[in-house]
Amino acid sequence: MNRSTARLLFAIPAEMQYITHIPPAGDSVTHKGTVATMTKKKKLKVNPAEAKQRIETIFPILKKTYPDAKIALNYDSPFHLLLATILSAQCTDVRVNMVTPPIFKKYPAPADFLDVAPAVIEEEIRSTGFYRNKTKNIKACCRMLVDEFDGQVPRTLEELTRLPGVGRKTANVILGNAYGQQGIVCDTHVIRLSRRLGLSDNIDPVKLEFDLMEVVPKQKWGGWTMFSHLLIWHGRTICKARKPDCPKCPIAAHCPAANNPELW
């Protein structure tokens, strides 16, 4: 043993010096070189045909359970919905709804933001978090709306996703709620519930969106937009991240992960 190795060894707690095996991801190391395997999340085998049939069963149940399901963000125009959605990144809808009323009043159109100093906007949206980056996106987005879209929020996914700070999720929020065009919004609730329900094993929002487009009816029962609302509402009220309330779940009988923590 050379001096460097000795110094390194002495810096390691004694109970950890005898570990002779580096476990793969999913394992945990215990003292004295033993390895204990943690409970791994099992992965459901997704069958698109079964997923499609499951949706045919659960969609009407969820719609009956949440008859008032809709977007949680308050807005009075496509532009203000765009603003609210940008602000909602890494922030609760409740907080955004607290912040937006004076902003909507002060900035009714994209042009109203152009000559405002970033520091002013940052202070107005500070409580939503990441306020500097959001301010930068809002300013750049409004500039593009004025310069290229005559101050109007575009009506196509391709044009919307050109706007700074706007990805497919935000674009689908605008299309589905402001313009009545069908779109699947893959937020954290939709990602989690889609996995638990065996609708898709993709956690990438874009890949999941395309998976769901293949199995969710585009128009029936309110279509893609309504299905997104229903999963979000269900995720917030019953199928929560840490511990879903399976005994109270109206679709538990049709859920592969119900009462099965390994699949949560």
Dihedral sign from CA coordinates of 171, 264, 241, 53: positive
Of the candidates 8, 128, 28, the one whose C-alpha atom is nearest the C-alpha of residue 73 is 128
**What three-state secondary structure class fits 37?**
strand
Q: What is the pLDDT of residue 40?
A: 54
HSE, side-chain direction, 13 A CA sphere, residue 84: 28
The region of weakest confidence among 15-19, 43-47, 72-76, 175-179 is 15-19
The answer to whether the predicted template modeling score (pTM) of the entire model surpasses 0.85 is no
Identify the band that residue 41 occupies on the pLDDT scale cut at 50, 70 and 90: low
Q: Do 67 and 211 form a contact (C-beta atoms < 8 A)?
A: no
Within the chain, what is the greatest distance between any pair of CA atoms? Answer: 73
- pLDDT one-digit tens code per residue, 212-232: 999 999 999 999 999 999 999
Task: Report which secondary-structure segment, H or E, holds 99.
Answer: helix 93-106
Q: What is the pLDDT of residue 17?
A: 32
- pLDDT one-digit tens code per residue, 80-111: 999 999 999 999 999 999 999 999 999 999 99
What is the CATH topology of the domain spanning 49-70+183-263? Endonuclease Iii, domain 2 (1.10.1670)
Cα–Cα distance for residue pair 175/169, rounded to 1 Å: 10
Does the domain spanning 78-165 belong to CATH 3.40.50.360?
no
Q: What is the pLDDT of residue 54?
A: 98
Domain extents for the chain? 3-37, 49-70+183-263, 78-165
List, by residue number, the catalytic residues. Answer: 169, 187
Three-state SS string over 205-223 comes to HHHHHHHHHHHCCCCHHHH
